[in-house]
Amino acid sequence: MKIIMLGAPGAGKGTQAKKIAAKYQIPHISTGDIFRANIKNGTELGMKAKSYMDAGGLVPDEITIGMLLDRIHEADCQNGYVLDGFPRTIPQAESLTKALKEMGESIDYAVNVDVPDENIINRMSGRRACLGCGATYHIVYNAPAKEGVCDVCGQSLVLRDDDKPETVKKRLQVYHEQTQPLIDYYKKEGVLAEVDGTKDMEEVFQAIVDILGA
Ligand code: ADP
Ligand code: ADP
Ligand code: ZN
């Protein structure tokens, strides 16, 4: 099963993508996580991506598309995957559609996790991320057992620089301009599914399972 998660920054795409990956036994591919791992390891890709990410903008399509297409051609992607944070622009979506077509494949579901802007700033300022394993927490809605420490790997949790309110406002603006049009794109492709992302995490997941099938 090939699934795309759509939604504003902080809508809960990553939270739900991890649950989907575990239930349906497919890899969770987050372009944001791939960029952050590259930044942490000081790679050339990471250095190229960092300034765009810090400013709340998008990493250019020339960098992002090739990276994602390489990833979905890896062996673990044969039975599908859940894409989290890609595509984010119409050219990214078109490149993905074309690459899949060449393999005789297509996306099964594009799940839009709908959350209004008013809720986003609050979600992001409470988000804490583990740069060790990619786990995500929320200080109120999904707190770790021990404050500031990752339940999974024990590393310390951070507030991402780009989750500070000024940058979140910029990211929301970029979302509305460049990413929101993908909702219509996938509606036209006939694969759009919508869920109410303001519900609690388990309810949102149940709504997604109802769509994908048990
Ligand atoms: P969030 O989960 O909060 O939406 P991500 O971790 O997906 O954030 O992305 C963090 C940043 O990485 C984005 O703001 C952007 O700069 C960059 N990024 C991630 N995915 C893409 C993409 N598909 N195209 C361009 N930039 C991306
Ligand atoms: P995205 O990947 O779309 O940027 P995340 O999955 O990282 O979003 O979620 C953003 C923040 O909101 C995290 O701190 C997460 O724990 C929290 N969160 C996710 N889903 C919900 C929900 N349904 N209700 C409340 N908080 C949520
Ligand atoms: Zn961790």
Q: In what order do the strands lie in the sheet with 127-130?
A: 136-138, 127-130, 157-158
Cβ atoms within 10 Å of 13's Cβ, excluding its own? 25
Over the chain, what is the mean pLDDT?
96
pLDDT at 131: 85
CATH of the domain at 16: 3.40.50.300
Stretch 143-150: mean pLDDT, rounded? Answer: 98
Residue 153 lies in a domain: no
Centroid of ligand 1 to alpha carbon of 191 (angstroms): 22
Cβ atoms within 10 Å of 22's Cβ, excluding its own? 10
| Separation of alpha carbons 126 and 142, rounded Å | 10
Residue 129 lies in a domain: no
Q: What are 25-34's pLDDT values in tens digits? A: 999 999 999 9
Residue 11 lies in a domain: yes
pLDDT at 214: 84
Residue 145 lies in a domain: no
Domain that holds residue 179: 2-26+79-115+167-212
From the CB of 52, is ligand 2 less than 6 Å away? no
| Separation of alpha carbons 214 and 209, rounded Å | 6
From the CB of 31, is ligand 1 less than 6 Å away? yes
Residue 174 lies in a domain: yes
Q: What are 168-212's pLDDT values in tens digits? A: 999 999 999 999 999 999 999 999 999 999 999 999 999 999 999
Residue 39 lies in a domain: no
Q: What are 86-126's pLDDT values in tens digits? A: 999 999 999 999 999 999 999 999 999 999 999 998 899 99
Residue 17 lies in a domain: yes
Residue 127 lies in a domain: no
